[in-house]
Structure 1
Amino acid sequence: MAHDLATLKAHFLSSDWTISEPALDALISLASPEVLDFLLALLDQPDVLVRNRACIALHEIGDSRAVPALLQAIRKPENEAYRGSLVYALEYLDCQHLLPDLFDLLFYGDSEVQMGAKRILDHQSFTFRADDLYAIKSKWEAIRGQLEQRVNPFTTTEEIQACVNGFLAYLRE
């Protein structure tokens, strides 16, 4: 099995999709701790295609132990133009403690990042404090006008406002 896993890892790193895709599928089906460690190490990979493949696998495996590494990769300035796949990987993971981070992605991310953050915000439950909500409210008030200037066919200012309002309603209870 170790040789097979080593081969799968090597094939996963191939630039030839006909070689890497079957390895991707096989690693997802294995979903072992060694596979998880391998995929998490690839989040530092400079090759965006390899990193994106790792994100696809992490999304499919759905192991929430990946959340800290994904969040760290999202925060790296060098990944700014490539955060969409990293946010995608978070979609089914436990993000209950990431409410402020997800709103930052919703407010400041590109279209793909905004869509991913909104999906998470719409479908998961969160643990938060009133201070988190006041910070979100303050950021929204500061960024709203700028967002209205950006053209984003996927996530409108009104949708973001509705998302913000949904969480700020907890301040009134």
Structure 2
Amino acid sequence: MRIPKQLLHHPSQLATTPGFRLPRWQRRAWYGVVALLVATGLAWLAAHYFLRPVSEFGAVIHPLEPWSMKLHGAAAMVSLWLAGSLLHVHIRRALAVGRNLLAGWLMIAWLGALALTGYGLYYVAGEDSRPWWSGVHWVLGLLLPLLLLLHVVTGRRSVRRRHAA
């Protein structure tokens, strides 16, 4: 059952919510937290694989590693909160009118996989499985900005197609 677009929100909200575009605070928060997650993930990868100092006892942890990991974890918590903030209007409305569903579901699954692999790295992974969890997590994380861009571009194209029709 399709719900007419005009019935999805109170009339006062329709005037201030063009299409499915997120409010400015949500857009800025998402772009900021994704940038922070990618930056801290890259910082950890660089510190872990390329910047490890060697002492007389062998390789030691670079000082950037724990700080980038702590900041990455904090940003991940914010991203989970932001994902929840999308449920009430953005996701619910898109599902009701059937717009940008493929990119939207892919984004939801991708964020879920990142949360799952992050949880797995922290709580589940043993020494044998850690490389697998880590590899999957950083590949998904590095591709996240491209997926976010895909979601935004396909969403904007669907708006243009609707207005042209």
Q: Please, what TM-score do these two structures have when normalized by structure 2?
A: 0.25
Greater RCO (Cα-Cα under 8 Å, separation 6 or more) = 2
Instruction: Specify the structure having the higher radius of gyration (Cα).
Output: 2
Q: Please, what TM-score do these two structures have when normalized by structure 1?
A: 0.24
